[in-house]
Amino acid sequence: MKAASVIDYRELARARLPKFLFEYIDGGSYAEVTLRRNITDLEAVALRQRVLRDVSKIDLTTTLFGQNFSMPVALAPIGLAGMNARRGERQAVRAAEKAGIPFILSTVSACPLAEVAKAAAKPFWFQLYMIRDRGFMKDLLAEAAAIGCPTLVFTVDMPVPGSRYRDYRSGLAGAPGLMGSLRRMGQAILHPRWAWDVGICGRPHALGNVAPVLGKNTGLEDFFAWMRNNFEPNVGWHDIEWIRSQWKGSIVIKGILDRQDARLALEAGADGIVVSNHGGRQLDGTLSSARALPPIADEVGGRMTILADGGIRSGLDVVRMLALGANGVMLGRAWAYALAAGGEKAITHMLGLMRAEMNVAMALTGTTRIAEISKHHP
């Protein structure tokens, strides 16, 4: 099948990946109410169609945190992304560079900072969780700064991991020891292209940035145990001061859903926020990003940069998020599906689809520049 949309890439990813990896990408927490809301609430956003306007020249360029980009889209941080294709984060950063957009490397990526930096021609952004071991955090921040990462995306909506039923059902989580390994291996054997490309040729499978603290315990069960034991539940706004003391670049706080928290982020000195519910993977039943965004934009819009993610499956969805008040969006599952389906080339193609869809949506709303989009939501 030739992909014509992100939805097509989702089906191609399902066909290529072992079940435990596809369910990890695709799933949410508990009954996945928020996961569904992210999509349906965004689909329900109506745009103002305008006619008889000169839309012969559409300009998608924008500036985020002092950097110029070809469109207001970034590849969001995704844990375990490098398991979807051979050394996946290296392929993704190259695709982002070709498209002229930011790539954000996850703390829990398969490829470590240094490896991704070797594959990149330009600086990329880095994402960090609050971790109990402050010495380890300090080292990661120093390494990210040393390789030139200009922007830190600090994720705050994961003091504890959400309960994701699909991961238990597939054997990705809650299946320790030999039997769990055999179960995942059995799923991999059913997908021989992935097994060769990633399982054999994509080694090492250690989580690169946290490998130093995992030591010899690098299996998936060890990784999830480390997450449960090392994410910091005792975190507060004062910790932003500590992050600022260690980081001189831009700081973006990811995981904001409440307008009061948005104001506190502004008061704490953050340069930007990401309106996000972690892709429906944390607190189930909470607001979708599309519902949470407008009041947050009313609260802090114009005083800090607002990014948003959650449910974005097309360039039309990008325009919808911008119309709701975002300055830019992050793509999560969209690029993970494409990476799994066809690596760097597929991500490049998917971003091309996004660009074309944005052009159409802007033309049909009589909009020619990104800054004008907010005027075209009823």
Query: Tokens for 112?
Result: 């470590």
d(C-alpha 319, C-alpha 162), whole Å: 29
- For residues 129, 63, 309, 253, the Cα torsion angle rounded to the nearest 10 degrees is 30
191, 278, 349, 376: which is the annotated catalytic residue? 278
Element (H, E) at 111: none
d(C-alpha 27, C-alpha 21), whole Å: 10
Say if CB 276 and CB 308 are below 8 A apart: yes
Number of residues in the chain: 378
Alpha helix (H) residue ranges in the chain:
6-16, 19-26, 33-43, 88-99, 113-119, 134-146, 165-170, 177-189, 192-194, 211-214, 220-230, 238-246, 259-267, 289-300, 315-323, 333-364
Alpha helix (H) residue ranges in 131-217:
134-146, 165-170, 177-189, 192-194, 211-214
d(C-alpha 338, C-alpha 115), whole Å: 21
d(C-alpha 277, C-alpha 281), whole Å: 7
Which residues, 6+ apart, have CB-to-CB distance to 302 below 8 Å? none
The answer to whether residue 238 is catalytic is: no
How far, in Å, are 152, 166, 319, 366 from residue 48 at the CA level? 35, 39, 11, 9
d(C-alpha 25, C-alpha 48), whole Å: 33
Element (H, E) at 330: strand 328-331
Q: Which residues are catalytic?
A: 278
